[in-house]
């Protein structure tokens, strides 16, 4: 699976200028968190991880594209921050269990069953009290994918989220950018911000 997907994304990242500003909704939700250990699944050139690393986070980026990860490393060098990259398919790769304070799953669109697998892996990677941020294109953005079943509604995203996570935000919002890039009010994203509950203390019944 890595070979063909990796080649497709290598070409896309090599041929197109990719956004460098972080997801503004992630910034809104994560900026008050103390820096910790973060995991970015399907990170590509790393726009979200680079912002977090620049604010003190220890970020691990996983992607199927070596070109995208090389671009992330080059940008990290420019910012004088350190990141860790892993070349792997996020559908198959298994992170350290309970090893991260924040996990990002942004704009992967693998289909509902595969998304549930990826989000379950992301949830296992969270420490108690850690957060998962998941976001993707709304099904109304039909030009974004030939298969609309891979795009999201709030119900679809909720259905893919593991039941053991507390859903703090589940919302459909206009697609927005930062750094002077024009927003796209005709397009929407569906996002979730969730928390892994702290482990319950043992006690007598």
Per-residue pLDDT in tens (0 to 9) along the chain, 205 residues: 344 789 999 999 999 988 899 999 999 999 999 999 999 999 999 999 999 999 999 999 999 999 999 999 999 999 999 999 999 999 999 999 999 999 999 999 998 899 999 999 999 999 999 999 999 999 998 776 668 899 999 999 999 999 999 999 999 999 987 655 555 667 899 999 999 998 754 444 3
Report the C-alpha gap between 67 and 183 in whole angstroms.
27
What's the pLDDT score for residue 1? 39
What's the pLDDT score for residue 28? 97
What's the pLDDT score for residue 5? 87
What's the pLDDT score for residue 144? 65
Q: Which two tokens stand for residue 78?
A: 């420019």
Give the CA dihedral 128, 156, 64, 46, nearest 10 degrees: -60
Backbone dihedral angles phi then psi of residue 128, each to the nearest 5 degrees? -55, 130
Report the C-alpha gap between 166 and 168 in whole angstroms.
6
The ranges assigned to domains in the chain are: 2-195
What's the pLDDT score for residue 18? 87
Q: Which two tokens stand for residue 93?
A: 């790769």
From the number of C-beta atoms within 10 Å of its C-beta (0-12, 13-18, 19+), residue 153 rates as: middle
What's the pLDDT score for residue 204? 41
What's the pLDDT score for residue 183? 53
Report the C-alpha gap between 50 and 135 in whole angstroms.
18
- Per the CB < 8 A criterion, the answer to whether 43 and 120 are in contact is no
Strand partners, 32: none
How long is the chain?
205
What's the pLDDT score for residue 186? 78
What's the pLDDT score for residue 178? 64
Cβ neighbors of 83 (< 8 A, separation 6 or more) are 46, 49, 50, 53, 59, 60, 61, 72, 73, 76
Is pTM beyond 0.75 here? yes
CATH code linked to domain 2-195 = 3.40.50.150
Neighbours of 162 (CB within 10 A): 16
């Amino acid at each position: 699976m890595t070979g063909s997907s990796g080649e497709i994304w290598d070409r896309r990242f090599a041929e197109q200028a990719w956004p460098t500003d972080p997801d503004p909704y992630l910034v809104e939700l994560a900026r008050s968190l103390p820096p910790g250990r973060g995991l970015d699944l399907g990170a590509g050139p790393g726009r979200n991880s680079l912002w977090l690393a620049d604010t003190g986070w220890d970020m691990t980026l996983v992607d199927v594209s070596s070109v995208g990860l090389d671009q992330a490393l080059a940008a990290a060098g420019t910012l004088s921050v350190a990141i860790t990259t892993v070349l792997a398919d996020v559908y198959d790769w298994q992170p350290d269990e309970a090893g991260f304070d924040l996990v990002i799953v942004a704009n992967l669109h693998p289909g509902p069953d595969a998304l549930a697998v990826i989000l379950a892996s992301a949830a296992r990677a969270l420490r108690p009290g850690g957060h998962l941020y998941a976001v993707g294109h709304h099904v109304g953005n039909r030009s974004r994918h030939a298969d609309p079943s891979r795009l999201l509604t709030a119900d679809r995203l909720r259905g893919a989220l593991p039941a053991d996570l507390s859903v703090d935000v589940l919302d459909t919002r206009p697609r927005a950018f930062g750094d002077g890039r024009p927003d796209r009010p005709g397009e929407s994203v569906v996002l979730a911000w969730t928390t892994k509950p702290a482990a319950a203390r043992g006690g007598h019944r």
